[in-house]
Amino acid sequence: MWHKKIVLASATVVLATGVTACSDSKSDKTTDAASAGSLETVTIALSNQANQSYLPLILAQRMGYFTKQGLNVKIANLQGTPQVSDALLKGDAQGMIGFYDSNLKLQLKGKNTQAVVQLLQAPGMVEMARTNAPSIKSPADLKGKNVGVTSLGSASSTIASYLAIHNNIAVADTHLVAVAAGATFVAAFEHNRIDAGVTTEPTISTLLKKQLGTIIADMRTAAGTKAALGGPYPGTALTVQTAWANSHKETVQKMVNAVYQTLQWMESHSAAEITEQVPADFYAGSGKDQYVQALANEMGMYNPTGQMPADAPQTVLRVLTAVDPTVKGKTIDLSKTYTDEYVQKAAQDHSAS
């Protein structure tokens, strides 16, 4: 039953996004999609595929970088973080796109996984307060307030809880409310269901455009993240099971090569140029101009090197220890939660080409 759900989800996304040749003159022509049968098939799971945090993966597929590596990548767009992790652990997906911090949580459950390339060097999130709640000027003003997050247990809920603690508010004094993202998050602001919330683009720009919210903590850049959380906090990464990686090193290297090439391409192109490569349905709700502006506002979250930022795993462990009772007091071997081995090789090969 589960297998059927994965296949259906991935098939839907593949049909929606396709694999197209890059319009950038610097890129080589890609292998025709009709020859995909001769390629090695890999499934990568995620949730909310239109999230701009996932763009490096989406673009790697659309611009043919995976195909150039000999991979036929299918993207399984699942319901939420738990389903994405389950797909990876059950082998229905060979990779998953999600926050690096999931590797620490999985290790405590006896599951060995590792992030092999960091798509983001910052969470790409902001905490916003309702415009009609002028007494809330910073996270320190959220004691006893309702704070919206994507889902309970998600990266946004971890960030929301830590922002409270970092501002001397006990977790018990902040009430987290699951309101998803996009239209439902906006509606929660419109109907005063939440007083503040942690969200991402393009929801951020929608709230600003409608004058429904104001930013009280900005984690769309490395500098803003350090100011808000007290240290670097890497966001989205490509994670694989360690055992699978050890027996499929060449495949992992190909996956990382494609993502790294995409990150490099994004680093040298504007938000408008990048948006030209994005599926139109990704910005159908907000409009193309707003999507471009939202992307421009958070370009600093992408990680052009793909490597783990210095001291970032320690910051993540500190945050999780503070907000997650299952982590507090436990020993985690951070060296096993990520590796820069593949992305360093990708950088060497890219420079040599």
pLDDT in tens, the chain (353 residues): 334 333 333 333 333 333 333 333 333 334 444 455 699 999 999 988 888 999 999 999 999 999 999 999 999 999 888 899 999 999 999 999 999 999 999 999 999 999 999 999 999 999 999 999 999 999 999 999 999 998 888 889 999 999 999 999 998 898 999 998 889 999 999 999 999 999 988 889 889 999 999 999 999 999 999 999 999 999 999 999 999 999 999 999 999 999 999 999 999 999 999 999 999 999 887 789 989 999 999 999 999 999 999 999 999 999 999 999 999 999 999 999 999 999 999 999 988 87
Looking at the fold, whether 75 and 160 belong to one and the same domain comes out as no
Looking at the fold, whether 104 and 20 belong to one and the same domain comes out as yes
Structure tokens at 122: 């910052």
Last residue of a domain, one of 219, 244, 271: 219
pLDDT number for residue 154: 85
Looking at the fold, whether 21 and 36 belong to one and the same domain comes out as yes
pLDDT number for residue 159: 95
Looking at the fold, whether 98 and 157 belong to one and the same domain comes out as no
pLDDT number for residue 97: 96
Non-local CB neighbours of 106 within 8 Å, separated by 6+ positions: 85, 89, 112, 113
Looking at the fold, whether 201 and 313 belong to one and the same domain comes out as no
Residues 220, 125 contacting (CB under 8 angstroms): yes
Q: Quickly tell me which residue has 């603690």 as its tokens.
A: 165
Phi and psi of 132, rounded to 5°? -85, 20
Looking at the fold, whether 117 and 164 belong to one and the same domain comes out as no
Non-local CB neighbours of 50 within 8 Å, separated by 6+ positions: 281, 282
Looking at the fold, whether 116 and 132 belong to one and the same domain comes out as no
CA 73/CA 33 separation, integer angstroms = 11
Query: Does residue 132 fall inside a structural domain?
Result: yes
Residues 60, 27 contacting (CB under 8 angstroms): no
Looking at the fold, whether 250 and 213 belong to one and the same domain comes out as no
Last residue of a domain, one of 184, 219, 254: 219
* DSSP β-ladder status, 146-149 and 196-200: parallel
Q: What is the CATH number of the domain that holds 38?
A: 3.40.190.10
Residues 277, 59 contacting (CB under 8 angstroms): yes
Query: Does residue 228 fall inside a structural domain?
Result: no
CA 238/CA 118 separation, integer angstroms = 7
* Residue range of the domain that includes 73: 2-122+234-352
